[in-house]
Amino acid sequence: MRLVGRRLRCVRGGREVFSDLDFSVLSGEALAVTGRNGAGKTSLLRLIAGLLVPAAGQVAVEGGSDELTTAEQAHYLGHRDALKPALSVRENLSFWRDFLGGARGDTLPALADVGLDHIAHLPAAYLSAGQRRRLSMARLLAVRRPIWLLDEPTSALDAAGQALFARLMDDHLRLGGLIVAATHAPLGIAVRDLRIGGPA
């Protein structure tokens, strides 16, 4: 599988964020998108995820499923954790599994993989920022998709959480997945760098 962007141009609020942007990521590779604040890192991820429409250019998946769009083959993990505070940890993950079209089944294994199975019954409102991030990480495991689009994925994670996420990303790459991550911090895995927006 290969994820490619060709001559992408992004305009937001009447302002050109970037233009003529090309990238390519193969299965088993991670691409770290870096640049100053406002350079368009999040906008690029949102273009790939189908949440924004490019002003020019195109994003395509080569060698993926012909029946699925790029967005349907990707997970977008934004820098804000999309959780319902009144629902339990387990109910939140079950909601996302169902919303994303995952197979019905127990969500506890995914919660165990991110170290939250012991608080599966707890309302999400009681989670710390790091625990909220871990619950978002569990979505990546509850419904398997080959493309991970990660926006500042290690934000709010302590050292143990960052090491855990690095292991999950390594496993994903080893199984043939690919990652595009907008980040200011090291991810703890081997990456290629795509800098946008010029020098900081």
pLDDT per position as a tens digit, 84-134: 999 999 999 999 999 888 887 889 999 999 999 999 999 999 999 999 999
Tokens of 112: 């165990």
User: Could you tell me if residue 200 is inside a domain?
Assistant: no
In this predicted model, what pLDDT tens digit does every residue of 168-177 receive, in sequence order? 999 999 999 9
Across the beta sheet with 56-62, what order do the strands follow? 15-26, 2-12, 56-62
Domain that residue 23 falls in? 2-195
| pTM attached to this predicted model | 0.92
Tokens 């290629």 -> residue: 192
Least Cα distance to 189 among 200, 175, 179, 199 occurs for: 179
Q: What is the pLDDT of residue 37?
A: 87
Neighbours of 72 (CB within 10 A): 15
Pairing of strands 15-26, 2-12: antiparallel
Q: Rounded to a whole number, what is the largest CA-CA distance in the chain? A: 48
* CATH number of the CATH domain containing 49: 3.40.50.300
What's the number of domains the chain is made of? Answer: 1
Flag whether 160 is in a domain: yes
Instruction: Tell whether 131 is covered by a domain.
Output: yes
How confident is the prediction for the chain on average, in pLDDT? 92
Q: What angle separates helix 89-99 from helix 129-142, to the nearest 10 degrees?
A: 40
In a domain, 157, yes or no: yes
Domain assignment present for residue 105? The answer is yes
What would the two tokens of residue 14 be?
């009447």
Band the pLDDT of 200: cuts 50, 70, 90. very low
Whether 59 is covered by a domain: the verdict is yes
- When pLDDT is cut at 50, 70 and 90, the band that residue 198 belongs to is low
Query: What is the band of 5 on the pLDDT scale with cuts at 50, 70, 90?
Result: very high
